[in-house]
């Protein structure tokens, strides 16, 4: 039997906010990079030299119906999860929450439609996309069902689970950077800066597994709030 959950200290909350902010900044940076690389080719009808970028140029609707709403969701979700903001701006919280839920569902569905058939990391990445993408969508659906029946605390906890997976995109980029750096160091700089399919697939599993575990750890350490 586990003991009662305890409230996180203000210091822990600040560290979590800083970590989340850094991960969102990484996602925004890579989203901007994708736009700068992809859209000149998309608009001109040309093919990029980078095989990694080719997927985005050849399938722009699938790719950007995943990326664009995902960026909106990741920017807005921290506000929705802030207890202070929610209590001060409750009506906005409710209306904005509907917008973010739609964005999250769209980005999750298109993560599967784009990420599975066009996985750079092959079968490992595709499998991770199916597993964690499904968990993300399931968490959103259960969060919606909970708020419809007035279970505010359960709604919040399922939304935290969904957000933990969503913000894991930033951690994937960190792992990819680490792996690319190691490969270049071992090869004396001869290794390409584009991640190899193997390391990309491993990065997906490491990042999403970490985020699901951290999300559950956080929920076990925090009380079941009712507001």
Structure tokens at 25: 């900044």
Structure tokens at 124: 């490992």
C-alpha dist (Å) from residue 93 to 72, 78, 82, 85 = 15, 11, 10, 8
Q: Which residues contact 114 (CB under 8 A, 6 or more apart)?
A: 55, 59, 62, 63, 65, 66
pLDDT at 187: 75
pLDDT at 4: 43
Question: What's the average pLDDT block by block, 10 residues per block, for the chain (227 residues)?
Answer: 48 85 96 95 90 92 97 96 88 94 98 96 96 98 96 93 97 94 78 81 97 94 60
Q: What's the pTM?
A: 0.90
Query: For residues 157 and 63, what is the distance between their CA atoms, to the nearest angstrom?
Result: 29
Query: For residues 207 and 171, what is the distance between their CA atoms, to the nearest angstrom?
Result: 5
Segment 48-97, tens digit of pLDDT: 888 889 999 999 999 999 999 999 999 999 999 988 888 899 899 999 99
Q: Which residues contact 54 (CB under 8 A, 6 or more apart)?
A: 47, 48
Q: Where are the alpha helices (DSSP H) in 45-151?
A: 51-58, 60-81, 83-88, 90-115, 122-148
Within a 10 A sphere around the Cβ of 220, how many other Cβ atoms?
10
């Amino acid at each position: 039997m586990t003991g009662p959950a305890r409230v996180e200290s203000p210091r822990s909350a600040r560290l979590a906010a800083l970590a989340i902010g850094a991960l969102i900044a990484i996602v925004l940076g890579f989203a901007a990079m994708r736009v700068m690389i992809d859209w000149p080719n998309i608009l001109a009808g040309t093919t990029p030299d980078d095989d990694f970028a080719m997927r985005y140029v050849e399938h722009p609707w699938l790719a950007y119906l995943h990326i664009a709403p995902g960026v909106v969701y990741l920017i807005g979700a921290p506000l929705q999860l802030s207890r202070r903001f929610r209590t001060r701006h409750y009506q906005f919280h409710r209306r904005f929450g509907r917008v973010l839920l739609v964005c999250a569902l769209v980005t999750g569905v298109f993560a599967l439609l784009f990420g599975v058939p066009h996985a750079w990391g092959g079968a490992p990445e595709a499998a991770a996309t199916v597993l964690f993408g499904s968990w993300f969508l399931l968490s959103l659906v259960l969060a919606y069902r909970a708020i419809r029946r007035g279970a505010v605390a359960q709604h919040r906890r399922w939304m935290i689970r969904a957000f933990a997976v969503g913000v894991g995109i930033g951690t994937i980029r960190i792992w990819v950077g680490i792996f690319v750096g190691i490969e270049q160091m071992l090869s004396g700089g001869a290794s390409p800066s584009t991640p190899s399919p193997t390391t990309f697939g491993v990065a997906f599993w490491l990042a999403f597994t970490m985020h699901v575990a951290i999300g559950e750890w956080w929920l076990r350490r925090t009380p079941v709030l009712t507001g």
